[in-house]
Amino acid sequence: MAKENLSVWTSIPFWRRSAAWVTGFASILLIWLTFDTMGQISMGTEADLAKGITKRVPAPTVINYHIDYKMSEKRGHEVPVIGKKQPFFGKEWSEKEAAALLHLGKLTSQAKNCMNCHTLLGNGAYYAPDLTKAWLDPAWQKSGAMQAMTGKNTVEEAMAEFLQHPSQYPTHARMMPNLDITAEEAKGLVAFLKHMSSIDTNGFPRNFSKTVDQFKNGGTNAH
């Protein structure tokens, strides 16, 4: 250390200072971007929904609306489209009820460890289908295999029925195990899934469940 350095490139103090500056600068930039992102991903309100203001993460009351996932020419990928009001489990949920239901659903998704088989927003394990847009999946719609199998008439009822008795409805050798999900918890989980499908994920997953025919028609198969 006492030896004099011939070049700055082999000087420890130079690299130490540079490391400190670069780390500090990167950290400050990250914190600044984090503040901006926090604002953009905070949940919207019922007023936003009523006025048609688009939020990246809408209010829990989005469960009272029809949700679709459509190509946006402007953005070059699919975006969630929140449509007209639509009953959820046969009723319209107040702000308080919707928030409580979403809370129960999110909590249940963690308590039942969904993420260690499924992916949520693409993160988790790869043993079972991605749940990001599961609410919009053709399999759960009218004429879809899953809805038909449960004998229910709406997406939410079919999903709730399946979640309570998954191994009664086997489709493949790989099945979802029974996780002792109660009827209330199942409703919460479906609300959580419907809410997640309304999040603006910058077009992930791309061409969601597009079949060859729909590809030709230039639409998506969401519904």
Radius of gyration of the chain (CA): 23
Does 87 participate in binding another protein (rule CB under 8 A)? no
As measured in angstroms, the least distance from the Cβ of 111 to another protein is 4
As measured in angstroms, the least distance from the Cβ of 90 to another protein is 22
What string marks each residue from 100 to 139 as x (binds another protein by CB under 8 A) or -?
--xxxxxxxxxxxxxxxx-xxxxxxxxxxxx-xxx--xxx
DSSP 15-51: HHHHHHHHHHHHHHHHHHHHHHHHHHHS---HHHHHH
Question: Which of 157, 149, 156, 160 lies closest to 182, judged by CA?
Answer: 160
As measured in angstroms, the least distance from the Cβ of 212 to another protein is 9
As measured in angstroms, the least distance from the Cβ of 130 to another protein is 5
Residues 51-70 that bind another protein (CB under 8 A): 56-57, 60
As measured in angstroms, the least distance from the Cβ of 97 to another protein is 14
Does 8 participate in binding another protein (rule CB under 8 A)? no
CB burial class (10 A; 0-12, 13-18, 19+) of residue 2? exposed
Q: Nearer to another protein by C-beta: 43 or 86?
A: 43
Q: Nearer to another protein by C-beta: 154 or 197?
A: 197
Residues 159-218 that bind another protein (CB under 8 A): 167, 171-175, 177-182, 185, 188, 192, 195-196, 199-211
102 φ, ψ (degrees, to nearest 5): -65, -40
**If you ran DSSP here, which 8-state letter would residue 5 be given?**
P
What string marks each residue from 11 to 40 as x (binds another protein by CB under 8 A) or -?
xx--xx-xx--xx--xx-xx--x--xxx-x
Q: How many residues does the chain have?
A: 223
Q: Nearer to another protein by C-beta: 79 or 84?
A: 79
DSSP 113-172: TGGGTSEETTEE-SSS---TTGGG-GGGSTT-HHHHHHT-SSHHHHHHHHHHSGGGS--S
Q: Nearer to another protein by C-beta: 76 or 84?
A: 76
Q: Nearer to another protein by C-beta: 36 or 73?
A: 36
As measured in angstroms, the least distance from the Cβ of 71 to another protein is 12
- 188/192 Cα distance (integer angstroms): 6
Q: Which residue bears the tokens 């077009």?
A: 203
User: Other CB atoms closer than 10 Å to residue 189's CB: what's the count?
Assistant: 25
